[in-house]
Amino acid sequence: MKKTITQKRAELLKEWILARHGNNEAYYDCTLYTGVPDGDTMETVIEDLQEGWYDEEIDEMLAMYEWARKRYEADGYYFHGKVFYDSGVFLRVAGYKLPDRIKKNGNYNELKKVEG
């Protein structure tokens, strides 16, 4: 089943969060070439996704994040002094309740406040 652009936006947000918390710096660093710019916050990334900022290159961006995750996920995800080796557990412990879709007029204010 082909994913919609709203589903791809949500997937990109998840991949960015995972890369940002990767326990190996190379995980995040290798995504900077085609990924979300360094220094962006949760708030700016969500706003950019809602505005469709990444829509044209979203498939390439997702491919890069997925490649990086496959290469570095064995190193785990770092949060508050602990390393989690399961992305689902990490996201739960870190307090991320990610949407399945990111729409242009959605309300993601609660998610914007989560800065793991």
- pTM beyond cutoff 0.95: no
Tens of pLDDT, residue by residue over 37-88, are 888 988 899 999 999 999 999 999 999 999 999 999 999 999 999 999 999 9
Domain residue limits, the chain: 5-111
Average pLDDT over residues 92-100: 92
- Say how many Å lie between the first and final Cα of the chain, rounded: 32
Angle at 38 between CA 32 and CA 42, to 5 degrees: 115
- Is the pLDDT at 116 greater than 60? The verdict is no
Q: Do 67 and 61 meet the contact criterion of CB atoms below 8 Å apart? A: no
Give bridge partners of residue 79 from the DSSP assignment: 82
Q: Do 13 and 91 meet the contact criterion of CB atoms below 8 Å apart? A: no
Average pLDDT over residues 81-100: 94
| Structure-token match 């829509």, residue found | 55
For residue 3, the model assigns a pLDDT of 93
For residue 48, the model assigns a pLDDT of 93
Q: Do 22 and 77 meet the contact criterion of CB atoms below 8 Å apart? A: yes
Interatomic CA distance for residues 14 and 67, integer angstroms: 14
Give burial (CB, 10 Å; 0-12/13-18/19+) of 45.
buried
Interatomic CA distance for residues 68 and 63, integer angstroms: 9
One-letter identity of residue 20:
R
